[in-house]
Amino acid sequence: MSSDWITADWPAPANIVAGTTTRRGGVSSGRYSSLNLGACVGDQPEHVVENRRRFVAMCDLPEEPCWLRQVHGIQVVCAGATDVDGGPPQADAAIGRGIGDSCAIMTADCVPILLCSIDGHEIAAAHGGWRGLAGGVVAATVKEMSAAPGSLIAWLGPAISQDSFEVGDDVRDAFTALDAESAACFRANDRGRWQADLYGLARMRLASAGVTAVHGGEYCTAADPQRFFSHRRDGSCGRMATFIHRRS
């Protein structure tokens, strides 16, 4: 398989590099084939180390980004933060303000959300699973950024589409309790459940936080097994990384 990654299609300043890896170009095998970047999904550690080395080289990054121990919460940290043991911090969003900072989110169906200020001085990455979106991870990230919400632009990386994302009443109720208009992001299916538009829900949470310049959201991880890992499709599997880097 050849190495490749998807460049974020958004009007970010020239000093911003951003995009998403695919599952191609790594050394992992089986359900993790092949560019699995997740260290806590059961893959062989030495394979993840090599995959991350390839990722850094492929995307021309100076070093690995700020990895996180994602828990579907709303904790926001600064790029470069570590846990007390020196490992990745438990958080679902990271913000970078310095030259050379990189932030990343790992996903296999959840929507990864990248943010940057229009002057290119501030960057962020947030993990948009349905629990995090309903819990307020977008608002928490935007609140921690120094740039005004109206001066931010966002890009939504590859995630599961509405056609592939079936949920129950609990998910729909979590969002309609926040905003009745969220009901428009749920379509009833013939099994008495709902098809949820995760991209649409992310856009609504961004708009609620004051971010209206939103791009991306055209992929489906579950429908494209050649390029993307998908937990909903495959169960235990690898992870892609959606990253943002400030060059200058």
The per-residue DSSP string of 53-105 comes to: HHHHHHTT-SS--B--B--SS--EEETT---TTSS--B-SEEEE-STT-EEEE
Band the pLDDT of 61: cuts 50, 70, 90.
very high
**pTM, full prediction:** 0.98
Residue 231 lies in a domain: yes
Residue 199 lies in a domain: no
Residue 204 lies in a domain: no
Strand order in the sheet with 240-246: 5-7, 16-21, 240-246, 102-107
Q: How many independent structural domains does the chain possess?
A: 1
Here the CATH number for the domain that contains residue 47 is 3.60.140.10
Residue 85 lies in a domain: yes
Band the pLDDT of 4: cuts 50, 70, 90.
confident
Give per-residue pLDDT as tens, 158-196. Answer: 999 999 999 999 999 999 999 999 999 999 999 999 999
Q: What's the whole-number average pLDDT of the chain?
A: 97
Band the pLDDT of 1: cuts 50, 70, 90.
very low
H helix or E strand, kind and range, residue 142: helix 137-144
